[in-house]
Chains A and B, each alone.
Chain A
């Protein structure tokens, strides 16, 4: 099966829908299955209200994406999942949203537990609104097997979600994760947009990844409006994204230290994370980078004078960061726990389509900034940080390497921005191209963020799809727990630190 019907497209590029050939359902399925078999990744698969299906495959080696579409004649189709695990959640999502049944899906359960968006068409034939996490969990039989249920409300300041462990003694045989508690209808809200709240909805997909999602949204609009962003503004956006990465990676490494009882790094990093957040706040007033970007450019610019002021502040934060984190690698008690927990092997990671830090920790050199360059990353490239062993230590180590790489990028950016005058404030965007499709990927601190916008004949969104890295990676947490002690769940979970709200949308 050739890939000819899946059109090559660059990250951020726009295609008129008429240029994307409508494949037969059979060809559509085979192209995906064969493509993933050949090493491409299924980064998006979604439906819309008109029974159209869209798929995006990432061909990382060629630095391009491939986009295809088909149209169903009825509200069901043969499931791709038995041949391609990466389709698992996507197909369940299509079923839940539009009542489309993937026939033969081996794990056919809701994703977020909301009512179907299509009145009178429910993939499970339900007539009442579903209750969250009420489903048949995979169970393991046997007298000595017991089940542990955790959540939705957890024992700390943690988002809501439900975890069901099948255990034999201390050992976890299987973990199934039921989410959807944070579902607030973001994708549904974006349809008919862009609205005045659309940028806010993108920023609040996952608040700790405000820039990663906000930027992806801006790029969809800029793509569809045919607007080029000045190079300096792109650099500021890159700086915003790397500051977000610094803050979260520092926080994660501190929290990992806390989970193994190594309090020096935990305490230091809790504070230092704030120092990085405050650098974002110095530019835009918000520690999370709210309202920093706007379609067409920046809402808050980073003037040369401010860049000069931030350089020494950042140097101090980096000095503290290094000092706090280097303690980890020299502490035998930390290394012992990190290395013994949460292994995911590379083969499985590839099969389920892990992305971001979790994938790079399994030796998969995958990073949107390098593979599908966007914004400033073509002119100011970053090196991909990766590790091999796929365990908690590898995920911690990749974060450390990325901190160093982001710090290098940030230093160069601040020095550069200190020498160049700001771009003029962006003017309102022209109308969006009608009947078109745009895909934008960014590399947030967790991993690949994908936004896909499809416009109707008026240039409004008829479909807006968001894929947070957590959507790909939650299954990785379940795999990391297999055969491990249940007492290691906190550290395994933290080493991924996935978003519940990013998954639940």
Chain B
């Protein structure tokens, strides 16, 4: 017993003070990209052309489209491999250390040069009344690589202590207020996912975590999967990444529940 107490003293209190302060993130974290149209080779002579397609060509998940010659990046498809950044001769694409990525609408995941990124808005007043102080989530792994699950799970550790925000993962859909889905929804998980969704009492939320659950991710062209959670159930929150950093997931959950002040 004395050894346990001594260890407890040595290990100390290690829960992050987030959201009061931001924890240190890896310097090389590949977060939200920015597109600077003025540096794109297709605009530098003033007229939009689409002669240079290098960024779109190297993207393994076809996340980059050229609009009037200027790239837009679909973060729902993006694996954050940064091949496009490396390929761009003018330096128009840059992956920043910005971890805030979650959105409410699928279209809001498109990063373009002009528009500001629309982060997830909080639930409306009625849903906030129901879920704002206690949100129980059922996690379903519907294919994928278990990478997102790893960082979803990590939020339960003492480092992040998800429970202090009133959010818990529960063992039955009957106990749940919503679904958290990882994976592209394999053909073999479609029925189980649907049944799990149906078993959750309404009103209910669905949260799609990771590129797979949003678009099929690296498996988007495989016939063995359905192309993400929205193919089976309506999705209320999209958290992109491959996998997203735990802070990105937590940021999304807290944004949905209106628990982040303007500064966070």
Contacts and interface: CB of A to CB of B under 8 A. Distances in A.
A284 B148 CA distance: 17
Interface string B179-219: 00001101111011000100000000000000000000111
Contacts of B225: 184-185
Nearest to B29: A285
A207 B4 contact: no
A323 B28 contact: no
A172 to B, nearest CB: 21
Nearest to B217: A204
A282 B28 contact: yes
B7 A264 contact: yes
A200 B81 CA distance: 9
B224 A200 contact: no
Top 9 A-B residue pairs of the complex, sorted by shortest distance between their CB atoms? A207-B147, A270-B157, A155-B171, A207-B145, A285-B28, A204-B145, A185-B224, A281-B26, A132-B188
A185 B141 contact: no
B262 interface: no
Interface stretch (A157-165, A349-357, A427-435, A479-487): A157-165
Interface string A55-85: 0000000000000000000000000000000
B244 to A, nearest CB: 10
Interface centre among B80, B143, B145, B187 (most CB of A within 10 A): B145
Given A207-B146, A282-B26, A181 B188 contact: yes
A113 B27 CA distance: 43
Contacts of B178: none
Given A113-B188, A207-B145, A323-B7, A157 B153 contact: yes
Nearest to B191: A131
A286 B82 CA distance: 12
| Interface size class of chain B, counting residues whose CB lies under 8 Å from the partner chain | 35 or more
B20 interface: no
B72 interface: no
A501 B26 CA distance: 28
Interface string A325-354: 001001100000000000000000000000
A43 interface: no
A158 B141 contact: yes
Interface string A160-194: 10000000000000000000111111101100000
Nearest to A160: B141
Interface of A: 112-114, 129, 131-132, 152-153, 155-160, 180-186, 188-189, 195-197, 200-201, 203-208, 210, 264, 267-268, 270-271, 273-274, 278, 281-288, 290-291, 300, 320, 323-324, 327, 330-331, 499-501
A499 B82 contact: no
A206 B145 contact: yes
B177 to A, nearest CB: 16
B41 interface: no
A181 B172 CA distance: 19
A164 to B, nearest CB: 15
Contact of A501 (B146, B171, B218): B146
B27 to A, nearest CB: 7
Contact of A208 (B4, B30, B150, B196): B150
